[in-house]
Structure 1
Amino acid sequence: MKTAIEKTKGYRRLIPSVTALVEFEAVARLGSFTLAAHELGVTQAAVSRQVRFLEETLGQRLFRRLHRAIELTDEGEALYRVVAESMQKIASVFDRLARGPVQQELVLAATSAFSHFRLLPRLASLKAAHPDLQLRLSTQMFTADLRHKEIDVAVRFGNGTWPDGTAMLLFDEEVFPVCSPSWLQTHSEPATLEDVASAVLVESDSTIEGWMGWEEWFNAVGHRPMRLNFPLRCSLYTDAIQAARFGQGIALGWGRLVHDLLDSGELVRLPVASFKPPESYFVVVPHGRTITPAIDGLINWLREGADA
C-alpha cells in the first residue's frame, strides 16, 4: 500500500505541507499540542490535524501519546532535528533581509584564544574600515566541520589542508616562555632550559592540531627534562595566560596571541629558547561559499598587522 507521499508528484512529493512542518516543530519543541496551538494562534484541534497529516503522509508515527504527555519517536526526533535547523536558517535569512542590504553580518569562527587575544583588541580598526559590517564571532574549542555550520570565514591553525574549505595563509607562529614582571621580582630569572623546566609552569590542554604543551615544546627545542612542575593546569589557553599575568608561573607564549600583552609590559618574554612550528594560521572559506566584497574585506583585515 502506497503512502500519501508516494501518490503525489513533483516538489510537493518531498515537502507536502510547510504549515504542517511549522506546527510539528512547535509541538516537538514545546512538548505540548496545547502550548504549540497557543504560540501559533490556532486551535489545538488544528495542530493535531496537521501533525496527523504528516504522520499519514510519511507512514510513520512522530509522537508517542502518553497519559499526560507526548514524546518524540525516533522518526519524529530525526525529522525534528532537520526541521528545527532549517527553520533557524530561514529565520536568520529573513531577519537579515528585513534589516536591509546595508546590514552585512558575517560569521567568523575562531578559537577562544585567537578571539580573545587577537580579534577583540583589534575590532575598532575593523569597524573603522567597514562601518556597515556586522560581525558574529563563533568561538570554538575544536575544529568544526564547515560543511554543517553557518560560518562565512574561519581562522585555523594547522598545515593549511582541510577537506571542508579553501585555506589562505595568514601568518606563521613562534612559541616561547612568558611570565609576569611580578613573578620575576620574586623568582630568579631562568637563564637556561633546565632553569625553566624546574620552575613553576602553567599548562594548558591541547585542543587543536599543531597546538603544543610544555612537554612537546621542550622536545621541539631539544631538551628532555626528567620531570616538569605543573601546579596549575588549564583547559583553556586564555586561562593559562591570565594565570601567568597574575604571577602564577611561566606559561607558553604563542607570539601572535600574546603580542599585545608583551607590548604593554603585562607579560615578559624569557629569552632562553623559542620554537617556530611548521603549522601556521590560515583563514578558511567553506567550499561553495562566494567570496563577497565583505568577506574579502574581512580577510584583508585579518591579514593586517602580520608582523605583530
Structure 2
Amino acid sequence: MKPASSAVKGYRRLIPSVTALVEFEAVARLASFTLAAHELGVTQAAVSRQVKYLEDRLGVRLFHRLHRSITLTEEGEALYLVVAESMQKIAGVFDRLASGPAQQELVLAATSAFSQLRLLPRLAALRAAQPDLQLRLSTQMFTADLRHKEIDAAVRFGAGSWSDGSSTLLFDEEVFPVCSRRWLETHESPVTLDALANAPLIESDSTSEGWMTWDEWFRTLGFRPAQLNFALRCTLYTDAIQASRHGQGIALGWGRLVHDFIAAGDLVRLPLASFRTRDAYYIVVPHGRTITPAIEGLIDGLRQDAPGDQ
C-alpha cells in the first residue's frame, strides 16, 4: 500500500534532510566531527554544516561543543536515540534482503571470562540447536558500548538497566572460594574466614561490571581482615582461575563461570561462606535491533543447565 501524497509531503516538511540526519547520527555515535567525516568520506566542514543546518531548522543546540570534545545536549540525545534506532532498523532490512534467506552472522560481545568459561563450553550445544548459527565473538576487556560497535547483542553483568539497549535476564550469580584438589592434598583446608584470609589467595582485578575483589568479598560478609595473603595477582579473571586449577592457591569462584570446572573435579568449592550478588547476567540488545530467533536461541543456550548448575 502506497502512502498518501499528503503524508509524503508531511515527511518532507518535518524531515528536511535525510543526509543531515545521517551525518548527525555519525557525529553523535562517534562523539567526533572528525571521525564522522572520515567514516562518511566527506570533509569535516561538510559535516559541521549539516549539523548546523539541523540545529537551525529545529531551533535547538544538538551538541555541547567543548574545547577538545563534544557531548549531546538533552535535545540531541532525544534525537539521536530515535535516529539511531530508525537507521539500524532500515540497515537491518537492507542487509537481510541483500543477503537472502541465509542466516546472518550474529556478533556477540562478552568479556573473555564469560566467553571462555561459559559460552565456549556450550558452543557445540548451541550449534546443534541452531545449525545455521554464524557467531562472531567480540571479546571485551570491559563493558561494551553498544553505540560505538557493530554488535547485535552483548552479555553484561549488572542491575539490568542500560541506556544503550534493552536487556533480558540470563541468570543470577553467587561468589565463593575455590581451589584445586591438588592444593587440598598439600594444604589444610581453611575452616574460618580468618584462616581463609591467611591462606594463599589468588587475586584478579575488578572490572567496570562490578566484579569484586577478595577484599570486597570479605567486606560483604562483614569481615575485615587486617591483611590478606596474596600468592598471585592477575589482571584477568581467567588467569586467576587457571592458576587455581593448577594448585597455586584459592581464587574467588563466580559460580556460573566455574560450574564446569567444579562438575569436572578440576576445582573444589570450599565449604565456607558465599555471597549471592544483587547483580546478574543479562543479554543486552542495542536499541533499534530486534530480538531475532537467533538471539532467542542464544539466550536459551546460555541458560542451559543454569537453574541447578551451582
TM-score calculated relative to the size of structure 1:
0.69
Q: Is the 8 A contact 2:171 2:280 kept in 1?
A: yes
Deviation at 1:11, TM superposition (A): 6.9
Match of 1:163 in 2: 163
Deviation at 1:296, TM superposition (A): 1.9
In the alignment, structure 1 residue 193 sits paired with structure 2 residue 229: no
Match of 1:4 in 2: none
Matched residues in 2 for 1:59 and 1:163: separation? 26
For residues 112-163 of structure 1, the C-alpha deviation after alignment (integer angstroms, 9 at most, x for no partner) is 1010000000000110010011001111111121112111111111111111
Cα RMSD, aligned residues only: 3.1
1:1-308 correspondence runs (5 A): 100-307=100-307, 308=309
Q: Which amino acid aligns with 1:283?
A: I
Structure 1: which 4+ aligned runs deviate by more than 3 Å? 9-15, 57-60, 92-100
Match of 1:40 in 2: none
Deviation at 1:94, TM superposition (A): 9.6
Deviation at 1:14, TM superposition (A): 9.8
Matched residues in 1 for 2:47 and 2:245: separation? 62
Change (3 A) 1:180 1:97: farther
Matched residues in 1 for 2:117 and 2:195: separation? 28
Structure 2: 5+ residue stretches without partners: 1-15, 23-37, 49-91
Alignment coverage as a number of residue pairs? 237
Matched residues in 2 for 1:288 and 1:59: separation? 24
Deviation at 1:299, TM superposition (A): 2.0
Q: Secondary structure at the match of 1:146?
A: coil
Q: Secondary structure at the match of 1:283?
A: strand
Change (3 A) 1:13 1:125: closer
**Bigger shift: residues 285-294 or 190-199:** 285-294
Deviation at 1:231, TM superposition (A): 2.7
> Identity over the aligned pairs, expressed in percent?
68
Q: Secondary structure at the match of 2:259?
A: helix
Matched residues in 2 for 1:134 and 1:11: separation? 33
Q: Secondary structure at the match of 1:300?
A: helix
Change (3 A) 1:158 1:12: closer
Change (3 A) 1:93 1:236: farther
For residues 211-245 of structure 1, the C-alpha deviation after alignment (integer angstroms, 9 at most, x for no partner) is 10100000111211100011311000000000001
Q: Which amino acid aligns with 2:134?
A: Q
Max Rg structure:
1
Q: Secondary structure at the match of 1:175?
A: strand
Change (3 A) 1:264 1:14: closer
Matched residues in 2 for 1:219 and 1:100: separation? 55
Q: Is the 8 A contact 1:203 1:233 kept in 2?
A: yes
**Bigger shift: residues 144-153 or 157-166:** 144-153
Q: Which amino acid aligns with 2:171?
A: F
Change (3 A) 1:270 1:163: same
TM-score calculated relative to the size of structure 2:
0.69
Q: Is the 8 A contact 1:141 1:208 kept in 2?
A: no
Matched residues in 2 for 1:303 and 1:13: separation? 43
Change (3 A) 1:107 1:198: same
Deviation at 1:58, TM superposition (A): 5.2
Matched residues in 2 for 1:110 and 1:14: separation? 31
Change (3 A) 1:245 1:101: same
Structure 1: 5+ residue stretches without partners: 1-8, 16-27, 30-50, 61-91
Q: Secondary structure at the match of 2:127?
A: helix
Deviation at 1:297, TM superposition (A): 1.9
Matched residues in 2 for 1:284 and 1:59: separation? 31
Change (3 A) 1:186 1:59: closer
Change (3 A) 1:218 1:94: same
Deviation at 1:10, TM superposition (A): 7.0
Match of 2:72 in 1: none
Q: Which amino acid aligns with 1:245?
A: R
Q: Secondary structure at the match of 1:233?
A: strand
Q: Secondary structure at the match of 1:225?
A: coil
Change (3 A) 1:163 1:12: closer
